[in-house]
């Protein structure tokens, strides 16, 4: 089950939406900021249907 959540870019501070597959209990992946286009790492902890924590980490 996918859930959309707002995340804040660690570089420019802009918030935008990412979609997380909550069937995966722990995941980390790299995404590009929609505004400044810099890549950063997203770390998500989930239960099915719910995001427990979501962090954005600059590489």
Judged by the rule CB under 5 A, the positions of this chain that interact with Zn ion are 9, 11-12, 14, 33, 35-36
Could you tell me the smallest distance in angstroms from the CB atom of residue 37 to Zn ion?
7
Of residues 7 and 46, the one with the C-beta less far from Zn ion:
7
Q: How far is CA 13 from CA 2, 17, 27, 40, 41, in A?
A: 24, 13, 22, 12, 14
Residue 9 Cβ, how far from Zn ion at the closest point, in Å? 3
Q: How far is the CB of 56 from Zn ion (least distance, A)?
A: 10
């Amino acid at each position: 089950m996918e859930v959309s959540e707002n995340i804040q870019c660690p570089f420019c501070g802009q918030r935008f939406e990412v979609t997380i597959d909550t069937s995966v209990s722990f995941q980390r992946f790299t995404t590009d900021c929609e505004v400044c286009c810099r890549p950063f790492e997203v770390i998500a902890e989930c239960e099915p249907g719910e995001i427990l924590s979501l962090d954005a980490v600059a590489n």
